[in-house]
Structure 1
Amino acid sequence: MNRRRWRSLGAHAVSIGERARSGATYNPLSRSVIQSPYETYARLRRHSPVHRSAILGSWVLTRYEDVLAAAKDHERFSNDPRWRGTTRSVLPPAPDDYSILLVDPPEHTRLRRCAAKAFSKAHLTALQETIAHTAAELIERAARRRTIDWIAEVAEPLAMRVMLAMMGLSRDEHHRWEVWSRSRARLLELIATRPERKTAHNTGSEIRRYFMTLLRQRMQSSEDDAISTLARLAAAGDGISMVEACDMLSVLMIAGNETTTHLIGNGMLALVRNREQMQRLREEPDRVRDAINEMLRFDSPVQTDFRIAKADVIVRGRTIRTGDGAILLTGSANRDEAAFENPDTFDITRKGPRHASFGHGVHQCIGAELARMEASAIFTEALRTLGTIELTAREPYYRTSTVIRGLAVLPLRVAA
């Protein structure tokens, strides 16, 4: 029996006792939770909204109000693994870098200021033509093929090509980055095995060498791509070092690829399962950004965020001690009955509070607008061009992941 199977059985035994004590449990090793976590989230919100997980050795926050409060409170909740205590916790994964994701202000403020230069309005505007052209090309090809995997043939190529263009890299780099992205993203997983973590660390070393070479080559470049922009800043000693630039480029490339792919995948599944909403979007294409926000809320590509308590914090009468890990279940926050009316209904006309999918506070996703641009382009093009969009499999299945929620495949029948 393999290691993952043993871990799963052990976690199952612990979860039985945990549910008996608190009325709910969060077992990220459970196949049923990976495929459909929302019933588990609802039980946690109802019975144990601030939940001490014996399986994870961490606290699990599930309510919208609590998740947002912790996400915004960088004075008491840290992203930096160096704050973790001596208690057993799976959080956060042992890093091999301290990228923009894993530091707090003032280091984070300095790095984010540099990253923002790669996501300036001018840079995003320059990408619009690439996004529109790629979306049209992929949908035209889909219409010719008639039966497609929406993930492999549309969502993933769009996200990857846009990120390669943003970096000033050739489309020939697609396969390399597809492999690297999948490998490196496992480092943030609660359920990653030791071999997967080792592979992820090795991938990190390869990526660092790759970007270091490119940064050195582009120090004198006048181009506006992300690598050249950060190379000039690092060369001038303007807020970022070469090593920090390497780590930042890795984060931007992988996050921009993985999360946008699954926004587009999960969003299409929501549309094909809610035909009246798809038809409404066809008739009212100006609602596309509202639809994207509802896709992000309804089935977020990022289900989980992590923090470590820098001080004792009382949440709903429970004390999270200094050094304790906290799992912020953004996927649960987005379905909180106390924040959203009929939260399990997909409604592109929804009004109300913002979803939690892009984070809040200083760590709010810097690539949020780019992700919206890509998703808006592909859904607009798909609904304009394709008169038929239908599932060919009854139950699409999700990748084995607790942080990134995304379909392994999404088989569709399409026709112009």
Structure 2
Amino acid sequence: MDAAQALASLMSPEGRVDPYPAYEWLRAHGPVAAAGPGLYAVTGHAEADELLRDPRVQVLDDNLRDGVMPQWRDSPALASIARSMLRTNPPDHSRMRRLAAAAFTPRRIAGLRDVVTAQAAELIDTLAAAGRDGRPVDFMTHFAYPLPVGVICALLGVPAADRPLFRRWAADLTGVLEPELTPDELASADAGATELRRYFTELVAARRRRPADDLTTALVQAHDAGDRLSAEELLANLVILLVAGFETTTNLLGNGLAVLLAHPAAADALRRHPEHAPAYVDELLRYDSPVQLTTRTTAEAVRVGGVELPAGSWLLLLLGAANRDPRRHPDPDRFDPWRAAPSPLSFGAGPHYCLGAGLARLEAQVAFPLLLRRLPELVPAGTPRRRIRLTLRGYDNLPVTVGRPAPGADHGAPAGTAPGTP
């Protein structure tokens, strides 16, 4: 099939659930394939990495957005995304990112290891209790969602009692990140954005009355101190920090566990050698990325992969395909935790590299060895249900049976060390 047909297959419900065959059909047309008038699909690792770092390649700005969707300002979901650091270019992007970056430095993230370990251990206890009688339990509900949402909410200062509210709101809002959006999906996204904005409006007011040692207070004070953050940017970035802070990691935990349970020898090696968790997590990110694509446009003409991209071109950077580029990763469809430097593009690259990438990696590096050690009989139970989403790839439901917890299993997870081969 030609590139346009391959892209249409990717956008179908079947393609969204399993995009990998369509990626290969697109790859047959080269690492950068013309898939429509002014539209290019990028499947090559080197090409995607280069474009993500090129200052001539940008996210959609207001002027371009006006031409594509003139009513976008009337949509709470589209407006929230547009005013956040996720969809702004320098210098606005740089200004907003700097205000939040202090909470995500390597030192601050390393200092959260004990907190993440304690939360993961508590959730494993809950998971084991829920499945004590042998009934299947949903890993997404009992572990993959509450672990990252608890961590990001603690950073933002969101009370623990409010955390269950966010799963549906965030799932609806992130529909606007899909490359194609139906009116019903936009209506759901707007409803989710409205609830999230209402929640953070109240939290901002509470932090003005009573400041706390959290990221919400820091951003409120940045807004109140002058012109570093507008009121609209304040709300938009609080929403996106919350949503991005757990959506990607929830999908990493679900996708990753499914892969590990499908490769029991590799899972057993990680159980015996938890110090290799960093290498495992990087390979899980490469093998089944929780973020499959991002979009860009060219502000100027750019030549990459032997293809001339005129100014104003639309780019679908297919990160999931780039992570399986055989020029970068021999035998890319094989899960191999001992690959040399998998360097996945799952968190992007360049100025928009995911601010919370280090935190997501930490949570996964702690969670997987701990789950495998404390629940050695953990196995799939029934048929999991994928979300019909392409941009953010994950499960709605991942049923497992937990079996008997390991006798005398400790609640700690050794700190990650430099990966090697067991």
TM-score, normalising length: structure 1: 0.87
- Secondary structure at 1:403 match in 2: coil
Contact 2:3 2:33 in 1 (8 A): no
Code of the aligned partner of 1:149? D
Letter of the structure 2 residue corresponding to residue 180 of structure 1: W
More off after superposition, 116-125 vs 242-251: 116-125
Query: For residues 402-413 of structure 1, what are the structure 2 equivalents within 5 Å?
Result: 402-413=390-401
Q: Which residue of 1 aligns with 2:116?
A: 131
1:65 aligns with 2:46: yes
Alpha-carbon distance, 1:315 to partner: 3.0
TM-superposed deviation, 1:218: 1.6
Distance in 2, Cα, partners of 1:216 & 1:237:
17
Which residue of the partner structure matches residue 9 of structure 1? none
- Determine the C-alpha separation between the residues in 1 that align with 2:2 and 2:290: 31
Select which of 143, 147, 151 maps to 1:158. 147
1: CA distance between counterparts of 2:205 and 2:92?
Answer: 23
Match of 2:384 among 388, 396, 405: 396
Aligned to 1:387: 376
Is the Cα contact below 8 Å between 1:84 and 1:323 reproduced in 2? no
1:140 is aligned, of 106, 125, 139, to: 125
Are positions 1:255 and 2:244 aligned together? Answer: yes
| CA 1:358–1:20: 2 relative to 1, 3 Å | closer
More displaced, 258-267 or 212-221?
A: 212-221
Residue type of the partner of 1:65? A
* Paired position in structure 2 for 1:52: 34
1:176, 1:85 → 2: CA distance? 30
When structure 1 is superposed on structure 2, of 125-134 and 97-106 the one drifting more is: 125-134
Q: Measure, in 2, the Cα distance between the counterparts of 1:120 and 1:221.
A: 26
Alpha-carbon distance in structure 2 between the residues aligned to 1:397 and 1:379: 21
Contact 1:167–1:227 at 8 Å: present in 2 too? Answer: yes
SS in 2 for 1:335: coil
Matched, 1:113 2:98: yes
Q: Does 1:200 align with 2:189?
A: yes
CA contact (8 A) 1:63 1:332 kept: yes
The one-letter code sitting in structure 1 at the alignment partner of 2:343 is: R
What residue in structure 2 maps to residue 11 of structure 1? none
Q: What CA distance in whole angstroms lies between the structure 2 residues aligned with 1:343 and 1:37?
A: 15
How many angstroms does 1:259 deviate by?
A: 0.6
> Which deviates more from structure 2 when the two are superposed, residues 260-269 or residues 201-210?
201-210
Q: How does 1:161-176 map to 2 (within 5 A)?
A: 161-176=150-165
- For 1:36, the equivalent position in structure 2 comes to 18
2:178 counterpart residue number: 189
Aligned residue in 2 for 1:342: 331
Change (3 A) 1:294 1:45: same
Residue of structure 2 aligned with 1:178, choices 156, 167, 171: 167
Counterparts in 2 of 1:57 and 1:85: CA distance versus 1, 3 Å:
farther
- Relative to structure 1, the CA distance from residue 126 to residue 209 in structure 2 (aligned partners, 3 Å threshold; closer, same or farther) is farther
Report if the CA contact (8 A) 1:340-1:352 is conserved. no
The question of whether the paired residues in 2 share the 8 Å contact of 1:83 and 1:310 is answered with: no
Residue 85 of structure 1 deviates from its aligned partner by 8.5
Per the alignment, in what secondary structure is the counterpart of residue 408 of structure 1?
Answer: strand
Q: How far apart in 2 are the matches of 1:85 and 1:133?
A: 44
- Indicate the residue corresponding to 1:285 in structure 2: 274
Work out the CA distance in 2 between the residues paired with 1:88 and 1:82. Answer: 10
Distance in 2 between residues matched to 1:308 and 1:314, nearest whole Å: 13
Give matches, 1:208-247, under 5 Å.
208-219=197-208, 221=210, 223-237=212-226, 239-247=228-236
C-alpha separation in 1, matches of 2:337 and 2:268: 11
Which structure 2 residue ranges, 5 or more long, are not aligned? 406-422
For structure 1, the residue ranges without an aligned partner over 5 or more in a row are 1-18
Taking every aligned residue pair, what percent have the same amino acid on both sides? Answer: 32
Give the TM-score normalised by the residue count of structure 2. Answer: 0.86
- Within 1, Cα distance between the matches of 2:89 and 2:290? 24
Pair 278,195 (structure 1): closer, same or farther in 2 beyond 3 Å: same
Question: What is the count of residue pairs matched by the alignment?
Answer: 394
Q: Is 1:102 matched up with 2:90?
A: no
Contact (CA 8 Å) 1:87, 1:324: kept in 2 or not? no
Q: Tell me if structure 1 keeps the 8 A contact 2:293–2:391.
A: yes
Which residue of the other structure, out of 39, 51, 56, is the alignment partner of 1:76? 56
Deviation by residue 1:124-165 (Cα, 9 ceiling, x = unmatched): 355434322221111122223143211111101112222221
Preserved CA contact (<8 Å) 1:83 1:308: no
Q: Is the 8 A contact 1:35 1:397 kept in 2?
A: no
Shift of 1:44: 1.4
Contact 1:50 1:59 survives alignment (8 Å): yes
